[in-house]
Amino acid sequence: MRRHLLPVLLLLLAAAASSLLAPAAQARTAFACAPGGPATSLPFCRQSLLLHARARDFVSRLTRAEKVRLLVNNAAGVPRLGVAGYEWWSEALHGVSDTGPGVKFGGAFPGATAFPQVIGTAAALNASLWELIGRAVSDEARAMYNGGQAGLTFWSPNVNIFRDPRWGRGQETPGEDPTISSRYAAAYVRGLQQQQPSSSNRLKLAACCKHFTAYDLDHWGNTDRFHFNAIVSPQDLEDTFNVPFRSCVANGNDAAVMCSYNQVNGVPTCADESFLKGTIRGKWGLDGYIVSDCDSVDVFFNDQHYTRTVEDAAAAALRAGLDLDCGPFLAVYTEPAVAKRKVSDADVDNAVINTVTVQMRLGMFDGDPAAGPYGHLGPKDVCTPANQEFALEAARQGVVLLKNEKRKKHGGGILPLRAAAHRTVAVVGPHAEATVAMVGNYAGKACRYTTPLQGVAGYVKQAVHAAGCADVACAGTQQPVAAAVDAARRADATVVVAGLDQKVEAEGLDRNSLLLPGRQAELISAVAKASKGPVILVLMSGGPIDIAFAQNDPRIAAILWVGYPGQAGGQAIADVIFGHHNPGGKLPMTWYPQDYLRKAPMTNMAMRANPASGYPGRTYRFYTGPTIHPFGHGLSYTRFTHTLAHAPAQLTVRLAGGHAATSSAATASLLNATTRAGGERAVRVAHARCEGLSVPVHVDVSNVGGRDGAHTVMVYHAAPAASGGGGAPERQLVAFEKVHVAAGGVARVEVAVDVCEGMSVAVRDGVRRIPVGEHRLVIGEITHTVTLGVEQLGGVGRDAATRKQGNSVKLEGTGFCAFRLCKGGDGDLKKVREGTGLVKIVEMNDCKRLNWKERRRMSFLPHRQCFLILKIRAFNLFQGETSKLHQPVEMQLHMGS
Ligand SMILES: *[C@@H]1O[C@H](CO)[C@@H](O)[C@H](O)[C@H]1NC(C)=O
Ligand SMILES: *[C@@H]1O[C@H](CO)[C@@H](O)[C@H](O)[C@H]1NC(C)=O
């Protein structure tokens, strides 16, 4: 989000709009369809009707002027229909937040539970934790809505891939891995939305996954997000940037998606019809609304000059499928755009229907919300002891133990400290007394804070505080380093709490260094040198920090990374240091050395390395250079080993719709296995029968150390060597599951590796294929090989024929198992479509690869016998075209109308 760009006209309009808005405090009484109100008897208020019909009815009653005022975040009311204004912009990234105007703290709701910033929650690698946080937040949010201090539409979570370590908003995300981000997106959204079972489709809140897509640059050098054109390959889009969004919509049933500021391949995402209507609504089936980032439409007009006129900009957004503008642009310029026929009333109607349908799913057109299913929630449900305890639990689960030196005697690590042996502990560093810094950005007002100093003080006889740095910047010669050194010299142990804050990494603020700010490193080393007892370094940050100096300093006994651990952060830190909690978090992103920045311009979106240019690639999936800490790193006070209990060695991929080769009534099916150089074989995911197709993996986790602990089993996939058509990841996390294991105990973890999602490879053109052959699954020290095959196909026949069916033409051939279509005429064998057909029937209604004219001819000359003649040559599935076994068969396919 950013400040609104409000030229005078817009300002006036916004003011006018907000005067129509019910003041927030009255939201509770300003519900639509109130008994005795002006609309009670109208169809849109009738709860017995389908929501979509109600939304249509409502929109059909509006004038154009009324509709366009509903296209913006501070939607105007329609008083004549008893509908109040509504502020769409509320936030709840990790607790109810007042970052947007929809949430106001104060009065009966002075604060809300502040859970850890998302990057830290992600480190817990525990999907049930993520969903439960969403649930807790949804209770507090609904309670605040009931009290007129929040909306019901929350623009959270942020599921952009944390691609570049400098990104100031990396803290808001679940990290760099598509699989973690996908699970996080679906789990958090489910928790927030509490969608009611199928038929009613009702929501407790509406979540919103943002910012679609390929957005993770805020401000780097001369480039900012408002002007950045991200050049993204179809491959990276498919297997990296879009993955969490797809999961959010398809698995999480998310009710909204937000498009970003940046362009992708020359088109602003909020004006990209193929993205919004095509991918999000079409392919993934979004049931909800698409909203712009704040002022995105204004940005692509004024900053990017994407369209010539304001009306063109409004029209481009609406035609692309944008339903709601955060910002006033569409309220101002849509009417003129319609008047100039740049966009149709139907487009406007569709947008409003999409937003109003979500409001109806939320119960906003059902009369008094107090009588609804969440009407009982109120101030007593916010900052409850249970929620606050849960914020502490979440913070503990997210702590990552990066380093723990061995004790000289007795074995074991220096951590945990024994309170009895460390009676006086110095707590130093710029974050020793952190409060607000612990909640990161997109936070609200916390219920309360426990600082690191308070946390440690709760365990020891005496906690001595000396900041050592005046603030996180720790710049200049005037820093109180000496006092901290002095405290360390006397104490039995020293805890240094250092790191970053929102002055270093934030929205609009990317870093240009991965080192600790100012003199922090100097402070830490000086304290370590002087300290009498062990030194524990605690790092608060969203992004990774190059702490090689501390890693290599034997006097620094242990290092913890705690993200921004939320309101209870200090308690969680102390609980880990003193062994009340055994840490189990793992890094959700790679910690690169500072030197990495030189080789990877932030503007280079490529995930894959390019050895020729020295470009190192990004994230553990593609970057193979040195790290400070690798993705997934995280120690425990105990030790875990894995044994494979059960996993199949082979699995057969079946083809969609196809059964046995002989079944004549088989529905249309197609195996599109292309043959590439090297005879490598793969099945297109689109043609595989994916449902339930997974590799069950059962792993026994043994706790061979002396303490109870929790461990996340991480299953990595490596595709057969030659696959990927260039650029399959080195390895890719495909499943993870967290489990408690008592000291000396064993626990079995069962995960299912989804074959279509986890074991497929996106090739250069972005098409996903499942390579046939030996796949490796790597789980800790175990490597397991699964051989994927494809079900057997029937023999090759030659009696193909065509059959018309509706508008499509079906090609039938008994038992040809593969085909290639070539453009007809004069031996022109220019390939128009390639595929491997399964046995019986092949659907021919997909003519995407035919050029435009041919498509037109086929679809627009309905009464003529307009034949497109295609020559079809059969070839053996895996031997390639030149099969010796089967002579090519030529068939003519007549495509009529
Ligand atoms: C995952 O989180 C939930 C919620 O805090 C917790 O109950 C559960 O014990 C956690 N699982 C593990 C293995 O830590
Ligand atoms: C088969 O794969 C090719 C290459 O990716 C693709 O262009 C073609 O459209 C596919 N055929 C079908 C029928 O999906």
The residues with which 716 forms a beta bridge, in sequence order, are 733, 778
Selection from 164, 175, 217 nearest residue 514 by Cα: 164
Look at 81 and 763; give whichever has higher pLDDT.
Answer: 81
Q: What CA–CA distances, in Å, run from 601 to 507, 598, 639, 659, 684?
A: 19, 7, 39, 50, 34
Determine which residue's CA is closest to atom 7 belonging to ligand 1: 129
- The two tokens of residue 505 are 């990494």
Q: Ligand 1, closest atom to CA 393?
A: 5
Tracing tokens 């699970």 back to the chain, one arrives at 183
Specify the amino acid at residue 866: C
In contact, 391 and 111? CB cutoff 8 Å: no
Provide the pLDDT for residue 88. 98
Per residue in 436-477, pLDDT (tens digit) is: 999 999 999 999 999 999 999 999 999 999 999 999 999 999
What is the DSSP secondary-structure string of 859-878? HH-TTS----EEEEE--BTT
- The rounded Å distance from CA 397 to ligand 1 centre is 8
> 552: which residues sit within 8 A by CB, 6+ positions away?
none
In contact, 30 and 86? CB cutoff 8 Å: no
Query: What ligand has the least distance to the C-alpha of 842?
Result: 2
Helices (H), 260-402: 273, 296-298, 310-320, 329-339, 345-361, 385-398
* Cis peptide preceding 211, ω within 30 of 0: yes
- The two tokens of residue 212 are 């679609």
The residues with which 713 forms a beta bridge, in sequence order, are 737
Q: Would the pLDDT of 216 be above 60?
A: yes
Beta-sheet pairing, 841-843 with 808-813: antiparallel
Residues counted in the chain:
897
| pLDDT band for position 199 (cuts 50, 70, 90) | low
- The rounded Å distance from CA 585 to ligand 1 centre is 12
Instruction: Name the residue of 834, 838, 844, 847 to mutate for ligand 2: max ligand atoms within 8 A of Cβ.
Output: 834
| Positive or negative torsion for Cα 702, 704, 705, 708 | positive
Q: Would the pLDDT of 876 be above 90?
A: no
Determine which residue's CA is closest to atom 6 belonging to ligand 1: 129
| Cα–Cα dist 70/86, whole Å | 9
| Cα–Cα dist 541/237, whole Å | 28
Q: Please give the share of the chain, as a percent, with pLDDT higher than 70.
A: 81
Helices (H), 588-722: 596-599, 619-622
| pLDDT band for position 679 (cuts 50, 70, 90) | very low
The residues with which 416 forms a beta bridge, in sequence order, are none
- The half-sphere exposure of 6 on its side-chain side, counting CA atoms within 13 A, is 14
Provide the pLDDT for residue 838. 24
Q: Ligand 2, closest atom to CA 674?
A: 2
| Cα–Cα dist 668/847, whole Å | 16
Per residue in 296-320, pLDDT (tens digit) is: 999 999 999 999 999 999 999 999 9
Per residue in 784-807, pLDDT (tens digit) is: 999 998 764 332 233 333 333 333
Phi, psi of 427 (to 5 degrees): -115, 110
- Ligand 1: lining residues by beta carbon, under 6 Å: 126, 128-129, 132, 393, 710, 738-740
- The two tokens of residue 860 are 């627009």
- Ligand 2: lining residues by beta carbon, under 6 Å: 670, 672, 674, 767, 833-835, 846, 848-849
- The rounded Å distance from CA 702 to ligand 1 centre is 18
Q: Is 254 helix (H, G, I), strand (E, B) or coil?
A: coil
| Cα–Cα dist 386/739, whole Å | 23
- The two tokens of residue 131 are 């969903």
Query: What ligand has the least distance to the C-alpha of 765?
Result: 2
CA–centroid distance for 484 within its chain = 41
Provide the pLDDT for residue 897. 24
Count of C-beta atoms within a 10 Å radius of residue 644: 14
- The rounded Å distance from CA 836 to ligand 2 centre is 9
- The rounded Å distance from CA 717 to ligand 2 centre is 25
What positions carry a catalytic annotation? Answer: 293
